[in-house]
Chain A
Amino acid sequence: MALPRQIFDTVIVGGGGSGLRAALQLAEAGHRVAVFSKVFPTRSHTVAAQGGIGASLGNMQEDHWLWHMYDTIKGSDYLGDQDAIEFMCRKAAEVVYELEHFGMPFDRNADGTIYQRPFGGHTQNFGERAVHRACAAADRTGHAMLHTLYQRNIRARCQFFVEWMALDLIRDYEGAVVGIVALEMETGQVVVFQAKAVILATGGAGRIYHSSTNAFINTGDGLGMAARAGIPLEDMEFWQFHPTGVAGAGVLITEGVRGEGGILINSNGERFMERYAPTMKDLASRDVVSRAIDQEIKEGRGVGPEKDHVLLKLDHLGSETINKRLPGIREIALKFANVDPSREPIPVVPTCHYQMGGIPTNYYGQVVAPRGSNHSEVIPGLYAIGECACVSVHGANRLGTNSLLDLLVFGKSAGDHIVEWLKTNPQHRDLPADCEDLPLSRLARLDSATSGERVSEVGRDMRRTVQHYAGVFRTGTLLREGVAKIRDVAERVGRVAIQDKSQVFNTARIEALELENLIIVAEATLTSAEARTESRGAQSREDFKERDDKNWLKHSLWYLEGGRMDYKPVNLDPLTVESFEPKVRVY
């Protein structure tokens, strides 16, 4: 069967913050770029980011990119690559100013500069005290940023394929990526898109967890595509639990609440973070705060009839600050927790929020994988940016505000790199003859399966398995059991059946395809977590409580084929400054 074909210079899969930033760089340089998105671009999950974008503008207090770099490395529990972290922190001010020039409605200080608020783990002078570094548009920073970037892309006349789902990458016989196969949701049509470069910008896969702040669309499609194409996934054991998801609902309450002065209290009314992080208290990094909350709950100081959450108190901030700086939080608290935060505290619990791992890249966004003696050989034609990528700037634990920064810096950097790359690679490479086989066989199986389990049932079991076996605290026994269980679920995914076989906007088919991607991420997560016998950042093992730099200062690489693990060293060499040697992490 010969599918229809279209040709572009660059194909971008994903229309969130990083995809749109890259698209802008390419469209403004005059290249034929096509952006594919499962949803209208402003519905991408970047829209839900709340607190701010980290950049050492120093608008309100003295600040320096080197302090930001130190905080990020320390936050990463030294698993972040220091070249990429220096690159990101040095570029931060530039990309924030650009965004302002694009029209971003940042909040302002009295002198007209961009308002900045304190955020977890961001400090002055290498950990001395909290610093105002998060550039904010109220508590809707992601919404304001995503809309601004989309608007700028309208101006640049970028071409969008809205409500298309990318199915698979196309690699040629030399391993170069030469295009994608994608499905138009409205018609069910499948099309081959040939490109000189493909950027994966598909976001995270937080929907592998039962309790997640993530949108329904966060199903790791880019990770599934990469893994099926033989590319390893890096550091997949590291999932960030945000300390403050609304208990029961999972909806995010920004760390900006604590940045503005909110505090966490237990059933005794105690501000318990003072015990866990004497200097930064409620603004310690997220892994530290989430563990502290879980510890309080485990020791019986949780709140509520089940003693299963804690409280986020912000009534002391006053209605004026809440209405001005945290209006979206007030809305969420009223709607999802039934509390008016200017009077009562919000019930919160650590909730899966962010995927630190992903498709391995360098700081140009080029996807890299081991080959022979080179642990990071570039895969020609393929880039990955944003949450689906692992550069790695977040290492074992991301600092709040660094995700939006990551989208801007590496979106732009990948765009710039492709502009240069196209100069020396002006021709399209040939498509291999079998390029349609994999995606068409996946679709054919779904079309022909007449009996089998429902996607919703198997999906629920996957989410519960990951939640139970790869939570905040982990043990070897639990993880081994989890690996076996998730493999069982994976086999069931291969046998699901959908009732609806129609072509027009078949959301049942889309959800089945999404589950095929999610289960890959879930397997990678449990397998990588089981293999890493240490505690670092977001991976906290009760049977290996300490960080083990001697054996584990290295990145995990998981391959779909056989569920095989491999490893590569952490880059401890920054671009221009001295290395930050691993130290004990205290906040």
Chain B
Amino acid sequence: MKFSIYRYNPEKDEKPYMQDYDVALQPSDRMLLDAIIRIKETDDSLGLRKSCREGVCGSDGMNINGRNGLACITPIKDLKEPVVLRPLPGLPVIRDLIVDMTQFFKQYNSVKPYLINDSPPPQKERLQSPEDREELNGLYECVLCACCSTSCPSFWWNPDKFVGPAALLQAYRFIADTRDEAISERLDNLEDPYRLFRCHSIMNCAEACPKGLNPTEAIGKIKEQMIKRMV
């Protein structure tokens, strides 16, 4: 199978280049990650992140034939050759397919991604109805792979000012949690021409999400909450 892979090692390469590989696959190789590991067996200098190999840890996000996705849950049979692999777009490249995610996590931290509830907790669990809990579905499952934020033009242009779809999804995960007591503070934190409102609902994020989540919808719900509190 033929591959064209983005290579860059700052210690020796003046600029990035694409390297071609032709690799013989085994019948047990089903996912793109399996194929990349075959390549790495012959060229150990190829850099990528990987861990769970089942789509739950979010390590191996990359740009695959022009689309962001997780290599470990991208079936080989669906890919057109040569398979073009690039690092996630819009973030600085550390090496090969490994990007610097500092800015991405900075934005994640900026939405205070933790439950805020300063009331003394009960002896047992805080109660929550199954219906209220269902509001968190489609939000808490995020694996922080950054496939969505790095497919969003608004995040490419303003990664320091626009929170981006992944972190906004998490912002809404806590706004939507009936146990959280800081909704108003959370909305204040996003009421800004850039932080939330740079989202123009072009839906690249939902298209890119390997977990089938929909950040655009969550962003829409944050905007609704803001309107609701104005009237």
Contacts and interface: CB of A to CB of B under 8 A. Distances in A.
Interface of A: 39-40, 42-45, 47-48, 57, 93, 96-97, 100-103, 105-114, 137, 140, 143-144, 147, 151-152, 154-155, 186, 215-217, 248-249, 251-252, 328, 331-332, 335-336, 454-457, 498-500, 502-508, 511
29 contacts: A39-B59, A43-B52, A43-B58, A43-B59, A45-B57, A48-B56, A93-B124, A97-B121, A97-B123, A101-B125, A101-B126, A103-B174, A103-B179, A108-B128, A109-B130, A112-B129, A113-B124, A113-B127, A140-B56, A147-B140, A151-B114, A154-B114, A155-B114, A215-B51, A215-B53, A335-B75, A456-B40, A499-B44, A507-B48
A215 B52 contact: yes
Nearest to A142: B56
Contacts of B136: 105
Contact of A39 (B51, B128, B130, B177): B51
Given A42-B144, A105-B133, A110-B130, 20 more contacts: A39-B59, A40-B101, A42-B58, A47-B57, A48-B57, A103-B174, A105-B136, A107-B130, A108-B133, A143-B56, A216-B50, A216-B53, A217-B51, A248-B28, A335-B55, A336-B30, A454-B44, A455-B44, A504-B9, A504-B11
A457 B49 CA distance: 20
Interface string B83-123: 00000000000111010010001000100111101000101
Contacts of A100: 125-126
A244 to B, nearest CB: 14
A143 B51 contact: no
A340 B14 CA distance: 49
A155 B108 CA distance: 12
Given A43-B59, A48-B52, A503 B11 contact: yes
Contacts of B55: 331, 335
Given A47-B52, A454-B44, A456-B41, A143 B113 contact: no
B10 interface: yes
Interface residues of B, number: 59
B192 interface: no
B12 interface: yes
Contacts of B49: 39
A140 B54 CA distance: 13
Contacts of A335: 55, 73, 75
6 interchain residue pairs of minimum CB distance:
A103-B115, A112-B127, A508-B44, A500-B45, A151-B114, A43-B57
A424 to B, nearest CB: 31
Contact of A505 (B50, B98, B123, B180): B98
A406 to B, nearest CB: 20
Nearest to B45: A500
B141 interface: yes
A152 B114 CA distance: 6
A217 B59 CA distance: 11
B140 A144 contact: yes
A45 B11 contact: no
A332 B54 contact: yes
A198 B129 CA distance: 42
Contacts of A143: 56, 141, 143
Contact of A215 (B28, B57, B96, B113): B57
A39 B75 CA distance: 24
A252 B141 CA distance: 18
B47 interface: yes
Contacts of B51: 39, 43, 45, 215-217
A396 to B, nearest CB: 27
Given A39-B49, A45-B52, A505-B47, A103 B125 contact: no
Contact of B30 (A101, A109, A249): A249
Given A43-B57, A100-B125, A154-B109, A499 B115 contact: no
Contact of B177 (A45, A96, A103, A109): A103
B187 to A, nearest CB: 18
B95 A504 contact: yes
A101 B119 CA distance: 10
A106 B52 contact: no
B110 to A, nearest CB: 11
Given A103-B177, A106-B125, A42 B57 contact: yes
Nearest to B174: A103
A111 B127 contact: yes
B6 to A, nearest CB: 14
Contact of B54 (A39, A217, A336): A336
Contacts of B46: 507
A506 B112 CA distance: 33
A498 B133 contact: no
B94 A504 contact: yes
Nearest to B116: A155
Most buried by A among B30, B40, B52, B101: B52
A137 B125 CA distance: 14
Contacts of B28: 248
A184 to B, nearest CB: 12
A555 to B, nearest CB: 31
A57 B125 CA distance: 10
Nearest to B46: A507
A303 B170 CA distance: 43
A499 B54 CA distance: 29
A502 B12 contact: yes
B101 A114 contact: no
B45 A499 contact: yes
A147 B144 CA distance: 10
B210 to A, nearest CB: 10
A97 B124 contact: yes
Contacts of B59: 39-40, 43
B9 A502 contact: yes
Contacts of B95: 504-505
A91 to B, nearest CB: 15
B163 to A, nearest CB: 15
B128 A154 contact: no
Contacts of A508: 44-45
A114 B52 CA distance: 28
A494 to B, nearest CB: 18
B90 to A, nearest CB: 18
Contacts of A103: 114-115, 174, 177, 179-180
Interface string B42-86: 011111111111111111000000000000010100000000000
